[in-house]
């Protein structure tokens, strides 16, 4: 267990360093974009003004309020200090709303889009992949190229194509938003129906690509396992096919499960572009708006949320694997 | 193995829940309806259905594109129905209402104004006026509202460059005293229709609570504004803002009754297309959106009208122009600028970029409207006004010795004419189209211009710091008593303009002409009309000779298009009512609300 403690500490330290770097980049990168971040608000305020000094004052007031008149290193420490207090600052673009409140309204939409899509894609993809590996023949010859084709389409391109066909041409589904904005959110069948119909296209565009990727991976793993010695040995022993396939799939599933855990960890930032294509009110759309308006706090807040969720997911998986995976265990022992 | 997957799932979920919780202990954004004491308990019932009776509601659109953030006039970017530059008078009212048809200031909270001496403006107030919480509106409130601009850096701070003091003269009158060294009458007249009247008794407390710190005061989102206007806040969320009529509105004596719609509602559409579709279907009554080929709507049988019955359908309110950077070699030559001006196909720009809503281009510092052209002797400037003429432009360039090189681009005194970048924000499709046309036209006269469309904040930065070759912007876009002086100042005035590299807020091309500066400085103090016309004519001549900017199109101040499927009787041109097309809620346009009826 001592070895494990060491392993755990080492990993934690690495992740903390990574987190610090991520925070620093989140802070720095948006500020490297050219442009005038207070222009969005200040322009509004100074409409119709006829005096340089007054206009300049308005700019300066806002610059001081957002702290962008201070040197960058000072801004960074203020930013980190506020982070520790759980304060992500005030949005420039949606002044005076706080970044946390904007993100809080966006996260549920992102999760509601991603979680079902990942689960459905994963289950269906793995089942299809396994069947293809096991059945071989015509089934595999048709299915495998199809998976390959779907998987190699970038999912946002697929999103745009679907938007065009089912949204614009056939008018089967709405083309943007999370629900019909003429409605007020409530628990009526009408409203829930609206949410579902807006959800369908982005959801399907993610699911299809996920299925393709999962199926290919699962098929590869299964074929590999089917050709291992123990399978041959079991066959020679005369063990029932169904029992053998149970062994095979158990082993083939391993990396797939890791993959699932990872994609659930990266869920928050996983569908940014799909959201943008469909103007879905999740993190992606907000991040896009924020970048266009040079809304530093909102950009930093959204990217930080994504970074933290990815790091946490990875960390959790590593720590658990350290406990249960014999190979990692062995390497810990070696270091002793 | 199973343990591993279950655990990782479990942890991811824990993490997500943790994040959500972390987000949730913040102050809630003002996206939900905050029930207010003034609403008599029908709030919940209104919200569950989220609708108001269609025939009692006037729907407007095109004024609000994102979720509402604040209703405070002091906030950075207040949401509908608060709009400083447009004098939107539904909740907060101004002293006077601007009428874009004749440029007149019509009485509202103020009944009359007059210059009692050279530097004193005396304003009589309407004694009936009161706030929607029942308190009387007095001169104290006027002084307080003006003083806010003196105390803090806000939208109306600039008036204090010309104002020395605002003093109460009894309960129902105020005197505005101008500074002796800058007696700018024009900007002060602007203030009469711009400064929103705010209740002293409400905002004093907010100031106190915030320790007189403007950043703190701006945090007040003002969900239930106390104003003098005919409407109060009813409900708002991320999709819709609804106002409800104040049946005790003081202005019944002024307007002869209450406004017809019990509710005024603004739905927040995702984009122009969604808004236009709703408008066409009759879900919106008054639209402030750019609708390409609006005539197709009534040809398709929708009961849709523009204020002007025939082409160009809308009245001009501003002129989006291109500005030249005077510090760039080649562009600093007025002949080159004139050649570019003559090469541009203005009709094509109007057709492609403005769907034909821009009338014939008559270059000047004034709009082609009676309220502005009266200031300039039109015959005297005729010979200087350019029109599209490629041959003449080429001749002009030949005559100054700009010869074409092997690549077809001219070279003048060793300076190649281009490549120059011409810039405006990405996604402003009408402007993008206009600049593409300019770039194409320039090629025909041997000048190379390339378009560059960055995001809006970048464009703002380039504009102000002079980091451009040619850039598009609208000089002084609002209709106000100080036009066309304000526009001329924005285009030509060089005092207070920082050098390239620092921020300038007008005259972005850093143009300088001493005589023009003198004229611009003097005009606001002149009252003699003949003298004024003389000065404006001289200024226009300088503009047309030097060409610091080229107007590309005329754009309405607001797009005013109405659908009469629910409400009818909106103002139209020539109906004799003198109600301007100001979307029925801005300035004197608000009079529309008193004459429309249910169909």
pLDDT for position A181: 61
Interface contact flag, B29 A267, Cβ < 8 Å: no
Answer whether B170's CB lies under 8 Å from B139's CB: yes
**Nearest-CB residue to B69 (from A36, A97, A309):** A97
How sure is the predictor about A14, in pLDDT bands with cuts at 50, 70 and 90?
very high
What stretches of B400-528 show up as alpha helix (H) in DSSP?
A: 429-443, 456-465, 485-492, 514-522
Question: How many Cβ atoms from other residues are within 10 Å of residue B290's Cβ?
Answer: 21
Contacts 24+ apart (CB under 8 A), A83-87: A83/A23, A83/A304, A86/B22, A86/B25
Closest CA to B70 of B324, B229, B326, B241: B241
Q: Using CB atoms within 10 Å of the CB of residue A76, give its burial: 0 to 12 exposed, 13 to 18 middle, 19+ buried.
A: middle
Interface contact flag, B85 A62, Cβ < 8 Å: no
Interface contact flag, B155 A105, Cβ < 8 Å: no
Interface contact flag, A264 B461, Cβ < 8 Å: no
Token pair, residue B469, equals: 């070759």
pLDDT for position B289: 92
Spell out which residues of chain A touch residue B489, defining contact as CB-CB under 8 Å. Answer: 50
Closest CA to A299 of A280, A277, A278, A284: A284
Token pair, residue A268, equals: 């928050």
Spell out which residues of chain A touch residue B219, defining contact as CB-CB under 8 Å. Answer: 96
Interface contact flag, B503 A59, Cβ < 8 Å: yes
Q: Which residue's structure tokens are 């690509």?
A: A209
Q: Which of B12, B43, B151, B318 to mutate to test the interface with A (most CBs of A within 10 A)?
A: B12
Interface contact flag, B489 A50, Cβ < 8 Å: yes
Q: Which residue's structure tokens are 């701070």?
A: B157
Q: Which of B2, B3, B23 to mutate to test the interface with A (most CBs of A within 10 A)?
A: B23
**Nearest-CB residue to A101 (from B8, B28, B271):** B28
- Residue B10 at interface with chain A, using a CB cutoff of 8 Å: no
What string of DSSP letters covers A35-90? S-TTHHHHHHHTTT---HHHHHHHHHHHHHHHTTTS-HHHHHHHHHHHHHTT---B
Q: Which of A33, A49, A58, A221 to mutate to test the interface with B (most CBs of B within 10 A)?
A: A49
Answer whether A35's CB lies under 8 Å from B458's CB: yes
Q: How far is A280 from chain B (nearest CA, A)?
A: 11
Spell out which residues of chain A touch residue B49, defining contact as CB-CB under 8 Å. Answer: 184
For residues A179 and B516, which has the higher predicted lDDT (pLDDT)?
A: B516
Interface contact flag, B69 A293, Cβ < 8 Å: no
pLDDT for position B29: 31
pLDDT for position A56: 83
Spell out which residues of chain B touch residue A183, defining contact as CB-CB under 8 Å. Answer: 50, 239
- Residue B161 at interface with chain A, using a CB cutoff of 8 Å: yes
- Residue B385 at interface with chain A, using a CB cutoff of 8 Å: no
pLDDT for position B542: 97
Closest residue on chain B to A107 (Cα)? B20
pLDDT for position A326: 66
**Nearest-CB residue to A312 (from B15, B161, B486):** B15
Answer whether A214's CB lies under 8 Å from A206's CB: no
Interface contact flag, B20 A107, Cβ < 8 Å: yes
Rg (CA), chain B: 26
Q: How far is B136 from chain A (nearest CA, A)?
A: 29
Interface contact flag, B461 A34, Cβ < 8 Å: yes
Closest residue on chain B to A65 (Cα)? B215
Alpha carbon distance A286, A297 (integer Å): 12
Alpha carbon distance A204, A193 (integer Å): 16
Interface contact flag, B69 A41, Cβ < 8 Å: no
| DSSP element (H, E) containing B445 | none
- Residues B376-401 have pLDDT tens digits of 999 999 999 999 999 999 999 999 99
Chain A to chain B Cβ contacts (< 8 Å): 230
Q: How far is B474 from chain A (nearest CA, A)?
A: 11
Answer whether B362's CB lies under 8 Å from B385's CB: yes
Interface contact flag, A184 B240, Cβ < 8 Å: yes
Sign of the Cα torsion A175, A178, A184, A190 reads positive
Q: Using CB atoms within 10 Å of the CB of residue B184, give its burial: 0 to 12 exposed, 13 to 18 middle, 19+ buried.
A: buried
Closest CA to B564 of B287, B278, B300, B305: B305
Closest residue on chain B to A119 (Cα)? B9
Interface contact flag, B478 A48, Cβ < 8 Å: yes
Provide CB contacts within 8 A for B529, sequence distance 6+. Answer: none
pLDDT for position B224: 95
- Residue B67 at interface with chain A, using a CB cutoff of 8 Å: yes
- Residues B483-508 have pLDDT tens digits of 999 999 999 999 989 999 998 999 99
Alpha carbon distance B478, B86 (integer Å): 7
Closest residue on chain B to A292 (Cα)? B455
What stretches of B289-333 show up as alpha helix (H) in DSSP?
A: 295-299
**Nearest-CB residue to A101 (from B27, B155, B157):** B27
**Nearest-CB residue to B267 (from A94, A181, A257):** A181
pLDDT for position A182: 59
Q: What angle, 0 to 180 degrees and rounded to 10, lies between the N-to-C axes of helices A326-335 and A296-324?
A: 90
pLDDT for position A23: 92
Question: How many Cβ atoms from other residues are within 10 Å of residue B378's Cβ?
Answer: 15
Torsion of CA B549, B555, B557, B559, to 10 degrees: -160
Please give the C-alpha separations between residue B352 and each of B318, B320, B429, B553, in angstroms, as whole numbers.
18, 15, 10, 11
Q: Which of A45, A285, A306 to mutate to test the interface with B (most CBs of B within 10 A)?
A: A45
Q: Which of A39-53, A98-112, A131-145 has the largest mean confidence?
A: A98-112
Sign of the Cα torsion A161, A162, A164, A169 reads positive
Spell out which residues of chain A touch residue B480, defining contact as CB-CB under 8 Å. Answer: 48
Alpha carbon distance A279, B86 (integer Å): 30
Spell out which residues of chain A touch residue B69, defining contact as CB-CB under 8 Å. Answer: 94-97
Q: Which of A234-238, A330-334, B70-74 has the largest mean confidence?
A: B70-74
- Residue B213 at interface with chain A, using a CB cutoff of 8 Å: no
pLDDT for position B14: 42
Sheet containing B263-267, strands listed edge to edge, beginning at the edge strand earlier in sequence: B231-236, B240-245, B263-267, B57-61, B286-287, B561-563, B304-306
Spell out which residues of chain B touch residue A56, defining contact as CB-CB under 8 Å. Answer: 503, 505
Q: Which residue's structure tokens are 């029925």?
A: B584
pLDDT for position B38: 33
Spell out which residues of chain B touch residue A97, defining contact as CB-CB under 8 Å. Answer: 29-30, 69
Token pair, residue B38, equals: 């003034």
The SS3 assignment for A209 reads helix
Residue A219 has pLDDT above 70, yes or no: yes
pLDDT for position B125: 97
Answer whether B160's CB lies under 8 Å from B149's CB: yes
Spell out which residues of chain B touch residue A181, defining contact as CB-CB under 8 Å. Answer: 239-240, 267-270
Token pair, residue A247, equals: 């062994």
- Give chain B's residues under pLDDT 70: 1-50
Closest residue on chain A to B184 (Cα)? A50
Q: How far is B158 from chain A (nearest CA, A)?
A: 5
The SS3 assignment for B427 reads coil
Closest CA to B334 of B541, B554, B552: B541
pLDDT for position B151: 94
Spell out which residues of chain B touch residue A58, defining contact as CB-CB under 8 Å. Answer: 153-155, 157
Answer whether B513's CB lies under 8 Å from B494's CB: yes
Contacts 24+ apart (CB under 8 A), A54-62: A54/B153, A54/B157, A54/B158, A54/B160, A54/B161, A55/B158, A55/B505, A56/B503, A56/B505, A57/B153, A57/B157, A58/B153, A58/B154, A58/B155, A58/B157, A59/B503, A60/B153, A61/B152, A61/B153, A61/B214, A61/B215, A62/A38, A62/B76
């Amino acid at each position: 267990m001592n070895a494990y403690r060491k392993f755990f500490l080492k990993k934690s330290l690495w992740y903390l360093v990574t987190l610090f770097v991520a925070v620093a980049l989140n802070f720095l990168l948006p500020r490297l974009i050219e442009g005038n971040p207070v222009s969005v608000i200040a322009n509004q305020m100074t409409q119709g003004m006829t005096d340089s000094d007054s206009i300049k004052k308005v700019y300066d007031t806002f610059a001081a309020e957002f702290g962008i008149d201070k040197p960058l290193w000072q801004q960074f420490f203020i930013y980190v200090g506020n982070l520790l207090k759980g304060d992500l600052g005030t949005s420039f673009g949606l002044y005076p709303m706080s970044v946390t409140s904007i993100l809080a309204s966006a996260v549920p939409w992102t999760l509601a889009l991603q979680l079902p899509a990942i689960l459905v894609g994963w289950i269906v993809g793995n089942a299809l992949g396994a069947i293809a590996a096991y059945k071989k023949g015509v089934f595999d010859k048709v299915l495998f190229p199809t998976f390959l084709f779907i998987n190699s389409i970038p999912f946002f391109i697929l999103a745009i194509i679907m938007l065009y066909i089912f949204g614009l041409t056939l008018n089967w589904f709405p083309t943007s938003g999370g629900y019909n904005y003429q409605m007020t959110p409530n628990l009526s069948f009408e409203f829930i129906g609206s949410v579902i119909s807006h959800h369908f296209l982005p959801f399907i565009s993610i699911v299809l690509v996920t299925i393709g990727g999962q199926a290919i991976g699962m098929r590869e793993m299964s074929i590999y396992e089917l050709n291992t010695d123990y399978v041959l040995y079991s066959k020679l022993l005369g063990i029932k096919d169904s029992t053998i396939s149970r062994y095979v799939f158990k082993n083939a599933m391993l990396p797939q499960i890791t993959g699932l855990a990872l994609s659930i960890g990266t869920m928050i930032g996983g569908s940014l572009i799909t959201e943008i294509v469909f103007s879905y009110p999740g993190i992606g759309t907000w991040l896009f708006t924020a970048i266009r308006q040079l809304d530093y706090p909102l950009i930093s807040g959204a990217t930080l949320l994504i970074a933290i969720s990815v790091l946490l997911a990875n960390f959790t998986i590593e720590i658990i694997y350290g406990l249960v995976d014999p190979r990692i265990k062995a390497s810990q022992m070696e270091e002793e | 193995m199973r343990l591993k997957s279950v655990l990782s799932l479990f942890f991811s979920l824990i993490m997500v829940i943790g994040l959500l919780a972390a987000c949730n202990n913040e102050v809630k954004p003002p996206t939900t309806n905050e029930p207010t004491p003034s609403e008599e308990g029908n709030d919940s019932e209104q919200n569950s259905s989220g609708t108001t009776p269609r025939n009692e509601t006037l729907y407007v659109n095109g004024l609000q594109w994102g979720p509402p953030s604040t209703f405070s006039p002091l906030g950075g970017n207040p949401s509908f129905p608060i709009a400083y530059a447009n004098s939107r008078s539904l909740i907060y009212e101004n002293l006077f209402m601007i009428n874009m048809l004749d440029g007149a200031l019509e009485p509202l909270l103020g009944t009359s104004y007059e210059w009692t001496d050279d530097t004193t403006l005396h304003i009589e107030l309407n004694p009936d006026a009161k706030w929607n919480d029942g308190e009387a509106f007095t001169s104290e409130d006027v002084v307080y509202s003006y003083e806010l601009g003196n105390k803090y850096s806000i939208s109306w701070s600039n008036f204090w460059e010309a104002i020395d003091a605002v003093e109460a003269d009894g309960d129902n009158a105020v005197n505005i005293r101008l500074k002796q060294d800058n007696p700018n009458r024009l900007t002060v007249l602007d203030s009469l229709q711009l400064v929103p009247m705010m209740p002293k008794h409400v905002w004093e407390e907010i100031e106190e609570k915030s320790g007189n710190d403007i950043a703190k005061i701006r945090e007040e989102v003002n969900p239930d504004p106390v104003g003098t206007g005919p409407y109060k806040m009813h409900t708002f969320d991320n999709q819709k803002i609804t106002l409800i009529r104040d049946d005790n509105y003081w202005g019944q004596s002024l307007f002869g009754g209450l406004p017809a719609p019990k509710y005024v509602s603004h739905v927040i559409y995702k984009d122009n297309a969604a808004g236009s579709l709703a408008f066409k279907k009759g879900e919106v009554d008054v639209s402030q959106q750019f609708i390409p080929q609006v005539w197709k709507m009534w040809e398709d049988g929708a009961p849709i009208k523009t204020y002007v019955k025939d082409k160009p359908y809308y009245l001009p309110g501003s002129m989006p122009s291109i500005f030249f950077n005077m510090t760039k070699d080649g562009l600093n030559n007025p002949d080159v600028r004139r050649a570019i001006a003559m090469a541009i196909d203005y009709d094509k720009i109007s057709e492609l970029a403005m769907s034909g809503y821009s009338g014939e281009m008559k270059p000047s510092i004034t709009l082609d409207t009676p309220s502005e052209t009266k200031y300039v002797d039109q015959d005297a400037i005729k010979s200087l006004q350019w029109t599209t003429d490629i041959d003449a432009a080429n001749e002009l360039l030949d005559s100054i010795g700009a010869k074409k090189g092997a690549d077809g681009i001219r070279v003048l005194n060793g300076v190649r004419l281009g490549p120059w970048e011409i810039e405006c924000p990405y996604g402003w499709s009408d402007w993008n189209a206009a600049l593409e046309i300019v770039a194409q036209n320039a090629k025909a006269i041997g000048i190379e211009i390339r378009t560059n469309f960055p995001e809006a904040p970048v464009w703002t930065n380039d504009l102000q710091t002079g980091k451009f070759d040619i850039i598009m912007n609208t000089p002084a876009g609002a209709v106000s008593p100080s036009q066309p002086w304000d526009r001329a100042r924005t285009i030509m005035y060089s005092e207070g303009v920082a050098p390239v590299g620092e921020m300038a807020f007008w005259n972005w091309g850093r143009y300088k002409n001493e005589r023009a500066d003198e004229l611009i400085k003097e005009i606001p103090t002149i009252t003699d009309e003949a003298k004024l016309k003389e000065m404006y004519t001289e200024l226009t001549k300088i503009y047309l000779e030097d060409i610091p900017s080229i107007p590309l199109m005329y754009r309405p101040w607001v797009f005013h298009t109405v659908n009469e499927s629910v409400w009818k009787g909106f103002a139209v041109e020539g109906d004799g009512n003198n109600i301007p097309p100001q979307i029925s809620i801005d300035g004197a346009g608000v009079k529309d609300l008193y004459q429309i009826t249910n169909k």
